[in-house]
Amino acid sequence: MAITDWPEQDRPREKMLQQGPTHLSDSELVAVFLRTGVAGASAVDVSRELLSHFGTLRGMLDAPLDRFEQVKGVGPAKYVLLQAALEIGRRYLQESMDLKATVQGPEHAKRYLMSRLRHEPHEVFAGLFLDSQHRLIGYQELFRGTIDGASVYPREVVRKVMELNAAAVIFAHNHPSGVAEPSDADVRITKRLAQALALVEASVLDHMIVGDSEVISLAERGLM
């Protein structure tokens, strides 16, 4: 049955307009972007097949085009629509902390860092560089590693702090495994960086670990 033959309250677009996007399932949200299905299958059916094929919403959105096209009824046009929607979401979240915004506590930083790092397939070590009023000077990717880890060089971090004239830094990196639990190595490198930056009178406010569904703060854990 085509979606146009469904009761109006069950159609994804009409349901979103009446009840809001939070009331739609993952497959219904995807169907809004797919717009059309194929012979014998509605856009919602195709969306369910995509989610079943990739296991999760993230798995579907992270898939390359050649894997995406393995599902009947989807091709480059639908792939581009979904990738565009994903990028709009990322940019929306990133704009929540503009160039001179004040970091308004750990939750503000966590949301921003989740938007920057959660989708990365390999480990990325980055920093939020702040002035003396904790206003954001900029976000900088510092080191990029393999899926097993990234080499972090305190000398390079000190150089970047001095280049930006930063007074404080919030470090962050992602765990591509999806598990945000900090390792002993994470704690050790944080302490090394704090010692190095103290020599140039800059402070490390936090080190946040980004996983699939949470961001863990070393400062909140008392591990700084």
Q: What is the pLDDT of residue 202?
A: 96
Q: What is the pLDDT of residue 3?
A: 63
Three-state DSSP at 222 gives coil
Q: Which helix (H) or strand (E) holds 206?
A: strand 203-210
User: Given 3-state DSSP classes, what are the helix, strand and coil percentages for the chain, each rounded to the nearest 5?
Assistant: 45, 20, 35
* Distance (Å, whole) CA 143 – CA 145: 7
- CA distances 3 to 7, 8, 100, Å, are 8, 9, 46
Amino acid at the residue 15: K
Supply 223's token pair.
Answer: 């591990």
Name the pTM for this structure: 0.65
Q: Per-domain residue ranges for the chain?
A: 3-93, 99-217
Q: Could you tell me which CATH class the domain 99-217 is placed in?
A: alpha beta
Q: What is the pLDDT of residues 184-213, one digit of tens each?
A: 999 999 999 999 999 999 999 999 999 988
Q: Show the 3-state SS of 93-143.
A: HHCCCCCCCECCCHHHHHHHHHHHHCCCCCCEEEEEEECCCCEEEEEEEEE
Residue ranges of the chain with per-residue pLDDT less than 50: 99
* Distance (Å, whole) CA 154 – CA 142: 10
* Distance (Å, whole) CA 169 – CA 154: 13
Q: What is the pLDDT of residue 7?
A: 59
**Strand 203-210 with 168-174, pairing:** parallel
